[in-house]
Amino acid sequence: MNFNLSEEQIAFAEAARDFAQGELAPYAAQWDEEEIFPRDAFAKAGEMGFCAIYAPESIGGLELPRLEAALVFEEMASVDPSTAAFLTIHNMATWMVGTWGSESLKNQWGEALSSGQKLASYCLTEPGSGSDAASLSTKAEKQGDNYVLSGSKAFISGGGDTDLLVVMARTGAEGARGISAFAVPANTPGIEYGRKEQKMGWNSQSTRPITFDKVKIPADYLLGREGDGFKLAMKGLDGGRINIATCSVGAAQGAYEAAKTYMNERKQFGKHIAEFQALQFKLADMLTNIVASRQMVRLAASKLDSNDANASAYCAMAKRFATDMCFQVCLDAQQIHGGYGYLKDYPIERLVRDTRVHQILEGTNEIMRVIIARQILVNGADIR
């Protein structure tokens, strides 16, 4: 098994690092402070191919493996987890449109999404259905050549600022098999956006509830077939869990680098704090947790790319482990900074705030444990 990246992958990661340093790092603090949704930055990311990394080539995507996507998102998250995380959501929605959309839908939206000129949100969560996504109540009724959508969604990243919504709605009976997926233009009459949520972190991406009041959409904006929605949502979430896990790895790497630099600059009791063994051990543990998390994420990505039967469990394990361990790394880096780590003059406090939500979204880490346990106890999976 070769753990080394190829020359092409290294070059891809370096391109992402240069982009992050040039287009994200100088503005990340301002976007966070002023709650700015950086559309121009996303358009520039699109020019690099970063808005459709694993989307099909037929819509202008790069159609690369998930590992390459992880390389990009990690580099971006090392300086701005919030903006990087929205980019992962847009990539997921673009991939779904390109993979399961009708030819008409792909012709109208594919290249615009792949280029970053148009942006997409993912709409699964509802006020009454979070972890129990299969209980969602938003409905879509077939009426002639259209579907009519009614219901509400909650915690929608980019809501009110994006151009297309990938929406899960009920077209059949209760339960997972009655759910279908739709692409819905964000300015369609009948769509109403609630107030922008005031959040602990992720401030460079807006988060709003969305209400659908008899929203009429063409029938060919259905993704896949009726009843496929929950299956497509879970396929999307497998990749989404890798994406959010790698954003945690990136943020932790950024926090680790900041802590290492600070330890070599800060003096106490007449010597650099890097000379104190207690802090040396903390830094060693931080790096160990980052490397372990990174390898779990890359393993899960390889399982997903190869359509491994246990890919969902690997994605859940990577998400659970990486988001827990890497949030702790950010906390440790903040502790090393002492009082300065609590100030907005330093990026550490933003990294802490932005990574906290990673343990909650794309399925809480408690739900990740449910998925893993079900796979090994109910399905009898032999995972080693």
| Residue spans per domain, the chain | 7-114, 120-226, 230-377
The set of residues, in sequence order, having a beta carbon less than 8 Å from that of 61 and lying 6+ positions away, is 52, 53, 54, 55, 94, 95, 98, 114
Distance, CA of 150 to CA of 182 (rounded, Å): 13
Rounded Cα distance, 131 and 318, in Å: 18
pLDDT in tens, 38-66: 999 999 999 999 999 999 999 999 999 99
Q: What is the mean pLDDT of residues 363-370?
A: 96
CA–CA dist 230, 180 (Å, integer): 7
pLDDT tens digit string along 90-99? 999 999 999 9
> What per-residue confidence (pLDDT) applies to 224?
97
Residue 131 clears pLDDT 90, i.e. is over it: no
Strands (E), 130-244: 139-143, 146-157, 164-170, 179-185, 191-193, 207-218, 222-223
Superfamily the domain 7-114 falls into: Acyl-CoA dehydrogenase/oxidase, N-terminal domain (1.10.540.10)
Q: Does residue 364 contact residue 356 with C-beta atoms inside 8 Å? A: no
Determine the Cα–Cα distance for residues 183 and 193; give it in Å rounded to an integer: 17
d(CA 33, CA 150): 35
What's the CATH number of domain 230-377, 1.20.140.10, 2.40.50.100, 3.30.1360.40, 3.40.309.10?
A: 1.20.140.10
Helix axes 229-265, 277-305, angle to 10 degrees: 160
Selection from 95, 90, 91 nearest residue 59 by Cα: 95
Query: Using one digit for the tens of pLDDT, what is the confidence trace for 264-315?
Result: 999 999 999 999 999 999 999 999 999 999 999 999 999 999 999 999 999 9
Rg value, the chain, Cα: 21
pLDDT confidence band for 117 (50 / 70 / 90): very high
7-19 helix and 66-77 helix, angle to the nearest 10 degrees = 30
- Active site includes 362? yes
| CB-based contact 381:310 (threshold 8 Å) | yes
**pLDDT tier at 1, thresholds 50, 70, 90:** low
Q: What pLDDT is stored for residue 384 in this prediction?
A: 86
Please state the rounded mean pLDDT for residues 244-272.
97
**What CATH number should be reported for the domain whose range is 120-226?**
2.40.110.10
pLDDT at 345 over 70: yes
Average pLDDT over residues 138-159: 97
pLDDT of residue 277: 97
pLDDT, tens digit, 9 for 90 and up, residues 168-214 = 999 999 989 999 999 999 999 999 999 999 999 999 999 999 999 99
Extract the runs of DSSP E, i.e. beta strands, from the chain. 120-123, 139-143, 146-157, 164-170, 179-185, 191-193, 207-218, 222-223, 267-268, 271-272
pLDDT of residue 370: 96
Catalytic residue from among 34, 35, 362, 366: 362
Per cent of the chain over pLDDT 70 is 100
Tell me how far apart the alpha carbons of residues 304 and 64 are, in angstroms, rounded to a whole number: 12
Check: CB of residue 301 under 8 Å from CB of residue 70.
yes
**66-77 vs 277-305: helix crossing angle, rounded to 10:** 150
Instruction: Return the bridge partners of 232, or none.
Output: none
pLDDT of residue 72: 97
